[in-house]
Every structure is written in C-alpha cells, then in structure tokens.
C-alpha cells in the first residue's frame, strides 16, 4: 500500500493518527533545525515536518529533495503551531517517521503553480506538467462533472446513449473530411465523422425514439483559437417532436447544467428570430448581457445633404450608455477599430448627449439640434450617453455595428463572465447563396426541414425559405444548434436537387438515407451542443484549449509527441498509396 489517505483530507480529527501519504514535492523550506515539505496530490496539499524527532535517515533524505520529487511518507498527524487558513488541511501537519523517494525529478521547465512562468508553447510541449497545475486540472475536472450532469439529465429523459461509427463514408458536402485509407479495400477511404448526423437520423428511423452521445467529431479545417481538428459534441435526436419540444427539452438541459454546476437558476430563456437578431444585434448570436440594441435611423437622417448618409442604403446606430465623455482619442480609436480589415467598416459618426440633454454631433453642420434630438430619441439615449452611427449597405453595415457594439460592451465592462444570458435564435434561412460557386448551400445541413408554410417558396424563391432550425446562444457564443429534419424521401430528393446534386450524386452519397425514409421514417428533430465551448464558457476561458487534455496547435500538431509524423514505406505500400512531394 502506497498510501491510506490523500494529501487533501487530513483534519484536526486525525490528530495522533499514523498516516501514509504519497505525492509530489510542491516546495521544501529548510529552516535550519526544521524542514517543511509541502506534499501535493490531486486532492490537496499536506505539510510534512522533519525536525529533531526525526531519524537521521529521514533527515538525510529530506536534504536531497527537489521540486516534483515523488514521495511516500509515514508520519503522525499533529496540530500546526502556525496555521494556514487558506487550505483545508492548514490546521495540521505530518511529523514524519519514514520517507521514501519513489521517483526523483529533473527541474521542471516551468513552475508548477497557478501563475506559472511557462509560455504557451513550452507548456504544450510539456503538457503533462502543465496539467499538474491546479487551474488546468480543475478545468478537466469541470469537464468530467459537466459530462456527468448532461448524461444524468438525458438518461432520466429516456435518451439512449448510442455509439455511432468513427470510420464512416466520406461525403463532400459540408466541411472537409479527414479520410482514412482502407487496407482491406484498396484505393478506398473511410472518413472521420464531422458529426453523427446520418446515423442519428437512421436511429430515429430505427425507432430509438431518443438518442444521445457525447462524441468526438472531426473537421479538417484551418484552425483558430476556438477550433480544433477534433472536438466533442453532445449530440441528440428525438422522434415524434416539433421544434418546440426540442427547445423545451434542451432548455431544460441547459438550466439543469447551470443549476448543478454553478448553482444558478436561469429564469429567462428568450427566443428571437434570425431576422430580428440581425436587425437588432447585427449577427445571429446576440450577446444579451447588455442592451445597446441597434436602431435603424435611415428614415431620420436622409435628405439633409449629408452625402455619406444620402448615398447609403442603411444607416443605423447604438447608444453607448454613459460614454458621452469619450475623448477625441478614444473616438478615433473606435474609428480605427471598425476599419480593421476583419471588421470592414468605413467611417463612424458620433453624437454626444450632454448632461443638459443637448446633442452635439460630428455632423452638426448638416443636422439641426431638433433633428439630433430625434436620433437620441430613436436610440433611447439619456444625458451622458454617446451615439455611434454607421452607414452603408445593410448586409455589410449591420455586422460592423455588431462588432462595435461588442467592443463598447467590453469597454464599458458589461460582459461579466459570470452573468449568463441564454437565447434561442430560430427561423434561420434554409439556404445560403454562394457567389463563388453560384449555387445554394444548406445553411444548417441538407437534412434540415423548411418551415411548412414556406415550402411553396422552394420552387419560386429558395433564398427566402426559412428553416425549422435553431441555435442556442449564450453570451454571444453559439453553444449549440439543430433543426427539425426532413423525413420524406421526396422532399429530401428535392432538397438535394436545389443544392445542385445530380440525381446520381445524391443517390451515390445519400441513397441509403433516402431509401431508409421509404420504410416509415418518423418525424424527428435534433440538436448538438459544442461541448468544448460549453465547458470553456463555464470555466471562464476564451479558448477551448484548456478544457482539452491534449489539444493540438494551430497547425494541427501535437507538439508534445511531435505528431503527425512520417510513416514507413511498408505502411504506405500496404495501403496502396504513394506520397506526392509537397511544393
């Protein structure tokens, strides 16, 4: 037996007991006659004491210890003379009688503590040491706990957890697949799933009624901070449901997670159409932690010989509460901000609402004070507020105002990470027109059902068709999304046609699904939550990396074990593959 207690559990009531501990040396303090060793494991820290009462052997060993050495020790619990109220074991210490070094340690390349001195790259290379830091490990513990809560909720609602295959059929629709060459079927390939979409729909055809899985998915896309080539979804599907049933079930799940993990009761769970979200927040994932809603001013500002506005299709703005005192420099910085290429704005018009209620704008020569008052009224501004107004094409300008709104939210400290505001965005468009390829793409995926009242539009004006599709947004982050599915093989065939599939291509790639629909497919709908994002939001992190035990970097590499890596010629030969030299 290496231990009979952990380093986190010894308390006053253990005083006098002889105890066996094992763990890592967090710190050694040698105070001449006494040596204090902080011994750490996953459960906590316990102070060990070597003093005059200790044997020479113990003293000699204690003198050789360094950080991260692995120890096993036996000792008697006693009350500390100088207590540490910051840790649960801080009232006691272990006066040790036996000390075994189970393993030594080289000096770690960075300090194993919450505020480490290690840079990102170094910590990733030594991820096994980074994970020793309590802050990092706690994120992974949170992840495990959240998975547990999710499973309990879904299990208790009759969902059957079902594993779907990882080696599946490659389909070119959607993002880029990772592929896996098959040795037994030469020159053929499996794909790794971007989601278990088809399988979960087939499980509904199979009568499983309610399915879920916490499942790895894969996308061979260029990476960003919150993207990884492999990621985890809470993937769900239900039969004999309408959109409303799905929203209620997963509103329940979301509330349950907040309650179980954070002790928070989420009361409001509003719904907003995609069209409204775009008009009022400039994007499809409004952050509702603060107002600063977008209002259109087009009708108020035109025809006053201000060319910028007169030429614009759309003029709209927001009211930044309490920002009327922004300096010229701050306002210039905001103009710079919206002009960044990734935001793509052009110019910013502002107006300050002074404490006396008068409005002073950057375009005073075009607009009379009464007109500016109308702007302030439309934007529901109060004395002390700042109006920020942009103009241009509507589709392009609203997203710029959205970015400005979020920036003002940040600057005004309105984005408290512990304030959670969920929202359902509904009624997404079914299709998106792609200029480059001159064809429609499915906004959600090709299996999403049009809204029944819009089906007639499919033949006339497909771009106008709305879908029974929905996203769960929390604090401006898309946490999940789903849709009611098509369950009629003819409608599905029509959908493939609109998406530009030939009959043969549709048959080749999705024939088994359309065939399945011929044998009594039930109405069904589903949703998937991005589990990494959900956990990182609960952990208060901006990136998903620190809620993944072994993440990859932006080139898709694991820098710890230096993979991907070349494989042997014999492996390639077995797979009937030849490498082409990259340029």
Q: Using the rule CB under 8 A, is 3 a contact of a copy of itself? A: yes
Q: Using the rule CB under 8 A, is 287 a contact of a copy of itself? A: no
Distance of CA 524 to the CA centre of its chain: 26
Of 181 and 383, CB closest to a copy of itself:
181
158-187 footprint of a copy of itself as x/- string (CB under 8 A): --xxxxxxxxxxx-x---xxxxxxxxxxxx
Nearest-angstrom CA–CA distance, 202 and 238: 11
Q: Using the rule CB under 8 A, is 207 a contact of a copy of itself? A: yes
Could you say which of 39, 348, 351, 521 contacts a copy of itself (CB under 8 A)?
Answer: 521
Could you say which of 226, 260, 371, 558 contacts a copy of itself (CB under 8 A)?
Answer: 558
Smallest separation, CB 3 to a copy of itself (Å): 5
Of 192 and 379, CB closest to a copy of itself:
192
- If phi > 0 it is left, if psi is from -120 to 50 it is alpha, else beta; for residue 135 that is alpha
Could you say which of 64, 119, 240, 369 contacts a copy of itself (CB under 8 A)?
Answer: 240
Query: Which of the stretches 113-121, 237-245, 311-319, 419-427 binds a copy of itself when contact is defined by CB under 8 A?
Result: 237-245
Of 210 and 295, CB closest to a copy of itself:
210
Contacts of a copy of itself in 408-437 (CB under 8 A): none
Q: Using the rule CB under 8 A, is 105 a contact of a copy of itself? A: yes
Specify whether the CB–CB gap between 485 and 447 falls below 8 A: yes
Of 43 and 337, CB closest to a copy of itself:
43
Which residue, 430, 503, 494, is CA-closest to 459?
A: 494
Q: Using the rule CB under 8 A, is 389 a contact of a copy of itself? A: no
What string of DSSP letters covers 409-461?
HHHTT---TT---EEEEE--BSEEEETTTTEEEESS-TTBPBPGGGTTHHHH-
Q: Using the rule CB under 8 A, is 111 a contact of a copy of itself? A: no
Smallest separation, CB 198 to a copy of itself (Å): 8
Q: Using the rule CB under 8 A, is 522 a contact of a copy of itself? A: yes
Q: In the beta sheet, which residues pair with residue 216?
A: 232
Smallest separation, CB 540 to a copy of itself (Å): 20
Could you say which of 11, 252, 549, 569 contacts a copy of itself (CB under 8 A)?
Answer: 549
Smallest separation, CB 35 to a copy of itself (Å): 19
Nearest-angstrom CA–CA distance, 1 and 274: 61
Of 70 and 455, CB closest to a copy of itself:
70
The number of beta carbons lying within 10 Å of the beta carbon of residue 58 is 21
Q: Using the rule CB under 8 A, is 108 a contact of a copy of itself? A: yes
Smallest separation, CB 310 to a copy of itself (Å): 47
Q: Using the rule CB under 8 A, is 220 a contact of a copy of itself? A: yes
Pairing of strands 160-161, 210-218: parallel
Contacts of a copy of itself in 478-497 (CB under 8 A): 487-488
Take residue 511 and report the two structure tokens written for it.
Answer: 């024939």
What's the Rg (C-alpha) of the chain? Answer: 30
Contacts of a copy of itself in 115-144 (CB under 8 A): 126-132, 137, 140-141, 143-144
Distance of CA 52 to the CA centre of its chain: 54
Q: Which residues contact 582 (CB under 8 A, 6 or more apart)?
A: none
Smallest separation, CB 456 to a copy of itself (Å): 21
Find out whether the peptide bond into 218 is cis, omega within 30 degrees of 0: no
Q: Using the rule CB under 8 A, is 444 a contact of a copy of itself? A: no
Of 162 and 321, CB closest to a copy of itself:
162
Smallest separation, CB 131 to a copy of itself (Å): 4
Could you say which of 9, 41, 51, 226 contacts a copy of itself (CB under 8 A)?
Answer: 41
Instruction: Find the DSSP H helices in 117-186.
Output: 120-125, 127-130, 134-156
Specify whether the CB–CB gap between 316 and 389 falls below 8 A: yes
Could you say which of 10, 50, 96, 202 contacts a copy of itself (CB under 8 A)?
Answer: 202
Q: Using the rule CB under 8 A, is 520 a contact of a copy of itself? A: yes
Q: Which residues of 144-209 form beta strands (DSSP E)?
A: 160-161, 179-181, 189-191
Could you say which of 5, 10, 14, 24 contacts a copy of itself (CB under 8 A)?
Answer: 24
Specify whether the CB–CB gap between 448 and 471 falls below 8 A: no
Smallest separation, CB 234 to a copy of itself (Å): 13
Smallest separation, CB 341 to a copy of itself (Å): 23
Q: Using the rule CB under 8 A, is 208 a contact of a copy of itself? A: yes
Contacts of a copy of itself in 499-518 (CB under 8 A): 512, 516-518
Of 83 and 503, CB closest to a copy of itself:
503
Specify whether the CB–CB gap between 353 and 384 falls below 8 A: yes
Smallest separation, CB 232 to a copy of itself (Å): 6
Q: Annotate 401-425 with b (16+ C-beta within 10 A) or e (fewer).
A: bbbbbbbbbebeebeeeeebbbbbb
Residue with tokens 């002390």: 384
Take residue 202 and report the two structure tokens written for it.
Answer: 């087939």
The number of beta carbons lying within 10 Å of the beta carbon of residue 75 is 23
Of 163 and 370, CB closest to a copy of itself:
163
Q: Annotate 118-141 with b (16+ C-beta within 10 A) or e (fewer).
A: beeeebbbbbebbbbbeebeebbe
Of 152 and 362, CB closest to a copy of itself:
152
DSSP 8-state secondary structure symbol assigned to residue 11: -
Of 24 and 496, CB closest to a copy of itself:
24
Of 433 and 576, CB closest to a copy of itself:
576
Task: Please report which helix (H) or strand (E) contains residue 320, including its range.
Answer: strand 314-320
Of 42 and 83, CB closest to a copy of itself:
42
Smallest separation, CB 496 to a copy of itself (Å): 16
Nearest-angstrom CA–CA distance, 547 and 131: 11
């Amino acid at each position: 037996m290496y231990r009979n207690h952990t380093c986190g559990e010894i308390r006053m009531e253990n005083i006098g007991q002889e105890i066996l501990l094992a763990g890592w040396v967090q710190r050694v303090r040698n105070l001449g006659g006494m040596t204090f060793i902080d011994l750490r494991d996953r459960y906590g820290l316990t102070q060990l004491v070597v003093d005059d009462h200790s044997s020479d052997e113990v003293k000699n060993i204690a003198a050789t210890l360094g950080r991260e050495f692995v120890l096993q020790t036996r000792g008697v619990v006693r009350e500390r003379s100088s207590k540490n109220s910051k840790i649960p074991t801080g009232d006691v210490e272990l006066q040790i009688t036996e000390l075994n070094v189970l393993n030594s340690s080289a000096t770690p390349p960075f300090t194993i503590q919450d505020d480490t001195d290690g840079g990102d790259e170094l910590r990733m290379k030594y991820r096994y040491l980074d994970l020793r830091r309590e802050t990092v490990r706690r994120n992974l513990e949170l992840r495990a706990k959240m998975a547990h809560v999710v499973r309990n909720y879904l299990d208790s609602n009759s969902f059957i957890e079902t594993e779907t295959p990882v080696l599946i059929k490659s389909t070119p629709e959607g993002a880029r697949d990772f592929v896996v060459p098959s040795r037994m079927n030469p020159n053929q390939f499996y794909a790794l799933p971007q989601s278990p979409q088809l399988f979960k729909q087939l499980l509904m055809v199979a009568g499983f009624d309610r399915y879920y899985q916490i499942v790895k998915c894969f996308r061979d896309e260029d990476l960003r901070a919150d993207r990884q080539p492999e990621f985890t979804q809470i993937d769900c599907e239900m039969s004999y449901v309408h959109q409303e049933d799905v929203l209620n079930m997963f509103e329940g799940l979301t509330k349950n997670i907040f309650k179980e993990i954070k002790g928070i009761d989420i009361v409001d769970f509003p719904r907003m159409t995609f069209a409204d979200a775009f008009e009022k927040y400039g994007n499809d994932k409004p952050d509702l932690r603060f107002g600063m809603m977008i209002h259109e001013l087009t009708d108020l500002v035109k025809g006053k010989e201000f060319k910028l506005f007169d030429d614009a299709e759309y003029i709209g703005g927001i009211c930044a509460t309490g920002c009327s005192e922004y300096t010229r420099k701050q306002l210039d910085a905001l103009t710079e901000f919206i002009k960044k290429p990734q935001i793509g704005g052009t110019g910013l018009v502002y107006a300050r609402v002074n404490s006396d209620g008068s409005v002073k704008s950057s375009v005073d020569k075009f607009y009379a004070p009464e007109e500016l008052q109308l702007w302030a009224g439309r934007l529901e501004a109060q004395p002390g507020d700042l109006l920020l107004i942009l103009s241009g094409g509507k589709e392009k300008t609203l997203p710029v105002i959205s970015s400005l709104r979020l920036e003002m939210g940040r600057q005004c400290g309105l984005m408290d990470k512990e304030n959670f505001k969920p929202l359902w965005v509904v009624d997404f468009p079914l299709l998106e027109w792609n200029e480059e390829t001159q064809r429609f793409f499915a906004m959600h995926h090709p299996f999403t059902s049009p809204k029944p009242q819009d089906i007639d539009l499919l033949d006339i004006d497909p771009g106008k068709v709305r879908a029974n599709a929905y996203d769960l947004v929390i604090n401006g982050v898309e946490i999940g999304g789903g849709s009611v599915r098509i369950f009629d093989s003819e409608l599905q065939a029509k959908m493939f046609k609109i998406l530009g599939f030939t009959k043969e291509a549709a048959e080749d790639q999705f024939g088994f699904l359309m065939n399945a629909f011929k044998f009594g497919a039930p109405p069904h709908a589903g949703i998937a939550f991005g589990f990494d994002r959900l956990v990182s939001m609960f952990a208060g992190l901006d990136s998903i990396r620190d809620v993944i035990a072994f993440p990859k970097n932006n080139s898709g590499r694991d820098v710890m074990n230096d993979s991907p890596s070349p494989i042997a010629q014999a492996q390639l030969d077995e797979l009937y593959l030849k490498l082409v030299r990259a340029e």
